[in-house]
Amino acid sequence: MAKVAINLSTGSIQQEEVIVGIDLGTTNSLVAYIHPEDKKPIAINDQGRGTIVPSVVHFTQQGETIVGNEAKEYLTTDPANTIYSVKRLLGKSYQDLGEHRDYFGYKIIDDNTEGLVKIRVGDRFYSPIELSAEILKELRERAEHSLKTPVNRAVITVPAYFNDSQRQATRDAGKLAGLEVLRIINEPTAASLAYGIGISPEEEKTIAVYDLGGGTFDISILSIHQGIFEVLATNGDTYLGGDDLDREIINYWIKENELVADTINQDKHLSQELRLKAEEAKKALSSAAEYTSDIDGKIRCHITRDKFEELIQPIVARTIRSCEQALSDAKLTPEQIDAVIMVGGSTRVPLVYNAVSEFFGKPANNSLNPDEVVALGAAIQADILAGNRKDILLLDVTPLTLGIETMGGLMDSIIPRNSKIPTKAGRQYTTSVDGQVNMKISVYQGERDLVKENRKLAEFDLKGIPAMPAGFPKVDVNFILNADGILKVEAIELRSGVRQEVEVKPQYGLTDAQVEQMLMDSITHAREDVAARMVIEARTTGEQMVYQVEQFLKKNGQHLTEDEVSLTQTNVQNLKNVLTSGDKDTILKAVDTLEEQTSPFAERVMQISIKQAMAGKKIE
Ligand code: AMP
């Protein structure tokens, strides 16, 4: 199978091109590359602004977009227009967010579906993909500015526990930022590569990667053989990190100064000052034995390292329990771990380092900057994929994405391009109409968001699905791509067992030049493709909302007052009127209005049945 390197501006095959590695983090992001002279990975520090770019996007009143440190300053002054932690939303539905919905200071749209979440900023609606793309664009621009060369290709890292949909969302964000995403790799894999572990194909190792960042914690156990990293187990807490250590210090100072927590919450200046001082204290205590400062000469901020360690001991113990659990899931003992790698700024805390080293019975690797290590490893992976490391054999990969058509003519990718073969992947779908007994499965190849721009490989009907309400059938679609490049697509309805399959050869009749053209088109059309996808998704959400609310009125109208019914009908009509407007913001605004107005009813009467009916992606 072909591996294609293209220069996006000329369309020609390009050899000497910088491919960057990107760590797209929850709190901070970084971009790194391999220095052409010493061949070592290095994080890019554009104009001395530092290597770390806070993953924060701010929308100004004038409609400008700001990313990074500057945007971070608006977190307290203008939270509704300042988006942080967008990575937590990538590839997720509102329902997925569960109890964490209140964590965010900006507005997330509750459309009560399993569709991907949207964020409302003023009258504009953004997907987490667009917001992540803003961060990636900033990183790309910094890299281009600093390296004085166009940057078109990247390897981007994701947590080992990211599912298919989160990985795809990350790829899409890259594409939207004008980057050809050569590969999505796991953060622990990147960290390992940065320490040189797993680069040589002869190496056989089992390693643990302990990652304690600003707001997330995860531990991954990886097995490495013949250059392949396999995730044996992951564990952690996506809402635990350095911020929690800061909070311990803040609470301690509140007690010591006999302050009242409620007054502090109301005093933005004071709470912000306390947060900043606490973080400063924590960082200082990583090397000093004690920290002393004050706020406005009034509040004394003093803490010793012993006290700090006593305060955070329960948090550290929790992370060690996660390590125990991960090892037990991997059916391993600490002695069987060959190396432990520290990732994330919070691993600089000596108590954390010592606890981890003690648990695994060996000193953890921490010689590289724990904030940069993931990006550095991504840069190494990029270099390997560029074919710059002659000692490393590249495995066969599939050059174009394989997927199927979903509602509205959208491409749902199942096997992403550049996946090593053989490989298999699958996804579950459901029906969109009550009593639907057939489902058309159309298989496509290509990078575009709309199937009509991609190459159709096959189509078949899964017949004989027993009549059920929309959303009830469970249809597994599996793609199996063997070493000879033959793709088997099978569809099975799990409740009845009806099954159908087809075999195709995706590379048949496809030249390298055509593959290159398809890749180029996907990048040059990324913006309009994503825009089209979002309009279709908004319309689909709107149509489903209309259907659900109308059904609801039919069945439960008697539980509502006359006014409630008539307002609902007006809002439904308003939504219907804008469905074909082609403007996603207008549609989503109408969805949001209807949702806000009707959600109390849904909670009152029918939450459960709506949820059941909306479950799962739908195929027309
Ligand atoms: P990350 O998400 O990996 O960038 O981690 C950032 C977290 O690391 C924040 O909570 C920082 O406060 C924390 N951090 C950075 N430097 C230090 C340090 N010297 N000691 C303790 N924590 C630190």
| Two domains, one topology: 19-195+372-383 and 200-367 | yes
Residue 318 burial (C-beta neighbours within 10 Å; 0-12, 13-18, 19+)? middle
How much is the pTM?
A: 0.82
Query: How far apart, in Å, are the Cα atoms of 249 and each of 213, 308, 330?
Result: 17, 7, 35
CATH class of 19-195+372-383: alpha beta
What is residue 268's three-state secondary structure? helix
Q: Is 54 in the pocket of ligand 1 (CB under 6 A)?
A: no
Determine which one of 46, 172, 180, 187 is catalytic. Answer: 187
- Tell me the chain's radius of gyration from C-alpha atoms: 26
Decide if pLDDT at 590 tops 90: yes
Percent of the chain with pLDDT over 70: 93
Q: Residue 209: what residue type?
A: V
Please report which residue ranges of 297-411 form alpha helices under DSSP H.
305-329, 350-360, 373-385
Across the range 93-108, mean pLDDT stands at 84
Residue having the nearest C-alpha atom to atom 22 of ligand 1: 346
Contact 303, 290 (CB under 8 A): yes
211 is catalytic: yes
Structure confidence at residue 611 as a pLDDT band (50, 70, 90)? low
Structure confidence at residue 606 as a pLDDT band (50, 70, 90)? low
Q: Is 348 in the pocket of ligand 1 (CB under 6 A)?
A: yes
Across the range 522-538, mean pLDDT stands at 90
Arch. (CATH architecture) of 402-522: Sandwich (2.60)
Please, which residues have CB within 8 angstroms of residue 401's CB and are 6 or more apart in sequence? 411, 413, 415, 416, 417, 445, 446, 447
Residue having the nearest C-alpha atom to atom 19 of ligand 1: 283
Contact 594, 529 (CB under 8 A): no
User: How many secondary structure helices (H) and strands (E) does the chain include?
Assistant: 17, 29
Span 391-418, pLDDT tens digits = 666 567 888 999 999 988 999 999 998 8
Contact 104, 126 (CB under 8 A): no
Q: Report the C-alpha gap between 196 and 97 in whole angstroms.
A: 36
Least confident of 154-158, 263-267, 493-497: 263-267
Decide if pLDDT at 331 tops 80: yes
Span 126-179, pLDDT tens digits = 999 999 999 999 999 999 999 999 999 999 999 999 988 899 899 999 999 999
Contact 588, 127 (CB under 8 A): no
Q: Report the C-alpha gap between 361 and 587 in whole angstroms.
A: 57
**Ligand 1 pocket mutation pick from 239, 247, 346 by most atoms within 8 angstroms of CB:** 346
Decide if pLDDT at 389 tops 80: no
Q: Is 29 in the pocket of ligand 1 (CB under 6 A)?
A: no
What is the H or E stretch that residue 553 is in?
A: helix 526-556
> In this structure, which topology does domain 528-615 adopt according to CATH?
Substrate Binding Domain Of Dnak; Chain:A; Domain 2 (1.20.1270)
Q: Report the C-alpha gap between 107 and 122 in whole angstroms.
A: 9
Decide if pLDDT at 108 tops 60: yes
Structure confidence at residue 115 as a pLDDT band (50, 70, 90)? confident
What is the H or E stretch that residue 32 is in?
A: strand 28-34
Span 123-134, pLDDT tens digits = 899 999 999 999
Contact 414, 479 (CB under 8 A): yes
- Dihedral in degrees, nearest 10, Cα atoms 170, 171, 174, 178: -160
Maximum alpha-carbon separation in the chain:
77
- Higher confidence at residue 505 or residue 211? 211
Span 429-470, pLDDT tens digits = 998 888 899 999 999 999 999 999 999 999 999 999 999 988
Span 232-258, pLDDT tens digits = 999 999 999 999 999 999 999 999 999
Query: How far apart, in Å, are the Cα atoms of 540 and each of 115, 185, 191, 410, 544?
Result: 9, 32, 40, 11, 6
Determine which one of 46, 72, 87, 248 is catalytic. Answer: 87
Q: How many residues does the chain have?
A: 620
87 is catalytic: yes
Decide if pLDDT at 602 tops 70: no
Structure confidence at residue 512 as a pLDDT band (50, 70, 90)? confident
- DSSP 8-class letter at 93: B
Determine which one of 46, 130, 172, 211 is catalytic. Answer: 211
**Confidence (pLDDT) at 510:** 83
**Confidence (pLDDT) at 509:** 80
Residue having the nearest C-alpha atom to atom 1 of ligand 1: 213
Across the range 347-372, mean pLDDT stands at 98
The hierarchical CATH code for the domain 200-367 is: 3.30.420.40
Burial annotation 515-548 (CB, 10 A radius, 16+ → b, else e): bbebbbbbbebbeebbbbbbbbbbbbbbbbbbbb
- Higher confidence at residue 352 or residue 200? 352
Q: What is the chain's mean pLDDT, rounded?
A: 90
Q: Where are the domains of the chain?
A: 19-195+372-383, 200-367, 402-522, 528-615
- DSSP 8-class letter at 78: -
Please, which residues have CB within 8 angstroms of residue 421's CB and are 6 or more apart in sequence? 1, 395, 396, 397, 398, 481, 482, 483, 485
Decide if pLDDT at 619 tops 80: no
The owner of tokens 């459960």 is 608
Across the range 597-603, mean pLDDT stands at 81
Decide if pLDDT at 615 tops 70: no
